[in-house]
Homo-oligomer: A and B are copies of this chain.
């Protein structure tokens, strides 16, 4: 019998792998990109269009949802899937990262983190147990342990202290999850340790001892740069269990994803395609462009005439330029949609390349077409 939550690796190419994560709410093809639906909506997108781009799973943010509309209200309304009209898998973060980046008057203790809402100033406490309780109220399929996510650079002793706190929180998270979760839901442990090889190994060893159905790599994409991030992946990924999903949190730009997939990462999330789309940036096969640039004012070509995505195919760059100049809703709507399609096309291209053992050629082509440098 198959586990209710399990990864099947179907093919490998070097360190890269492609496969399927099976969950009761549907399969997740890996490597997978998860669009970010912060407050119960992938911004400016209809859920049916998110799905149409090829997304198998979306992400929800515990911090935002616990404050508004609150996890209790979402639970009362049937859970996050029903609330946001998305029946497939949902991953939620623990809330910890955004407490540290968005809230006010934070205080971190062994117990957890107390903070003041950025919305209305109300006081809250997030502990490993409360984070799991919230994620179970939301009903997410893949949940994250509460962790502390320090910026890089950080001194070794401070990084170790923080990593050890996250490891203790991992254990508390697992106990809470065992009590509150339903069959088929999964809790991931989060590898911390900044950019220190010994700390990443120590963190990973502790998490493997606790035993999780998947492992996240946290604390990257926090300003360390692409080269340094890849260096951390180079000494971390090879030690991660081969039969469990590996999720690189908050990453990234297309070139980040391509490089991380080559190093064995299975799952990604990032606000880049949606946030950039709302601000007029579009990824194309030949690199990123800003549609507000005057050179597009009379450009009759669509962003991608060969795409099946209406947003990429049915509107000229001149029209998109006009929509952004005029401040029309449709501009962010179409560019977000296009960018999410670009990301999903990138993922399916990577999956096919790995399955046919031609990832190196795929990456060379990506580099030459986009002009991106991958270390």
B318 near A73: Cβ-Cβ < 8 Å: yes
B77 and A318 form a contact (CB under 8 A): yes
CB of B85 within 8 A of CB of A314, answer yes
| A295 at interface by CB-CB < 8 Å | no
| Residue A270 interfacial (CB < 8 Å) | no
A68 and B329 contact, Cβ closer than 8 Å, known pairs A73-B297, A78-B300: no
The segment from A39-47, A141-149, A214-222, A279-287 that touches chain B is: A39-47
Which residue of B is nearest A325, CB measured? B68
Shortest Cβ distance from A327 into B: residue: B39
List the B residue with the shortest CB-CB distance to A76. B298
Residues in B with CB closer than 8 Å to A85 are: 314-315, 319
Question: Are A46 and B298 neighbours in the complex by a CB distance under 8 Å?
Answer: no
The answer to whether the Cβ of A333 comes within 8 Å of any Cβ in the partner chain is yes
Alpha-carbon gap, A76 to B326, bound state (A) = 19
Q: Is A155 in contact with chain B by the CB < 8 A criterion? A: no
Determine whether the beta carbon of A69 is less than 8 Å from that of B333.
Answer: no
The CA of A319 and the CA of B44, in the complex, are separated in Å by 15
Number of copies of this protein chain within its complex: 2
Interface positions of A from 295 to 328, Cβ below 8 Å from B? 297-298, 300, 310, 314-316, 318-319, 322-323, 325-326, 328
A29-42 to B contact mask, C-beta < 8 Å, 1/0: 00000000001110
The reply to whether A319 and B39 contact each other, CB–CB distance below 8 Å, is no
Q: Which of B78, B84, B326 contacts A68 (CB 8 A)?
A: B326
Interface centre among A69, A298, A300, A315, by most B CB within 10 Å?
A69
Could you say which residues of chain B place their CB within 8 Å of the CB of A329? Answer: 41, 43-44, 329, 332-333
Which 10 residue pairs are nearest across A and B when measured between Cβ atoms? A44-B329, A41-B330, A69-B322, A39-B326, A41-B328, A85-B314, A77-B318, A83-B319, A77-B300, A43-B329
Q: Separation in Å of the A332 CB from the closest CB of chain B?
A: 7
CA distance A41 to B321 in the complex (A): 13
Interface residues of chain A, those whose CB is within 8 Å of chain B, are: 39-41, 43-46, 48, 64, 68-69, 73, 76-78, 83-85, 297-298, 300, 310, 314-316, 318-319, 322-323, 325-326, 328-330, 332-333
Residues on B with C-beta less than 8 A from A326 are 39-40, 64, 68
Contact assessment for A68 and B322 in the assembled complex, using a CB-CB cutoff below 8 Å: yes
**Shortest distance between the CB of A134 and any CB in chain B (Å):** 16
Determine if A333 and B44 form an interchain contact, defined as CB atoms under 8 angstroms apart: yes
A48 contact set on B, CB distance < 8 A = 310
Given the complex of chains A and B, what is the CA–CA distance between A84 and B328 in angstroms? 12
CB distance from A372 to the nearest CB of B (A): 29
Cβ contact within 8 Å between B330 and A45 = yes
A300 neighbours in B (Cβ, 8 Å):
77-78
Most chain B Cβ neighbours within 10 Å, of A315, A319, A325: A319
A204 → chain B closest CB, angstroms: 37
A41 touches B83 (CB 8 A): no
Q: With A76-B298, A310-B48 in contact, do A69 and B330 touch (Cβ < 8 Å)?
A: no
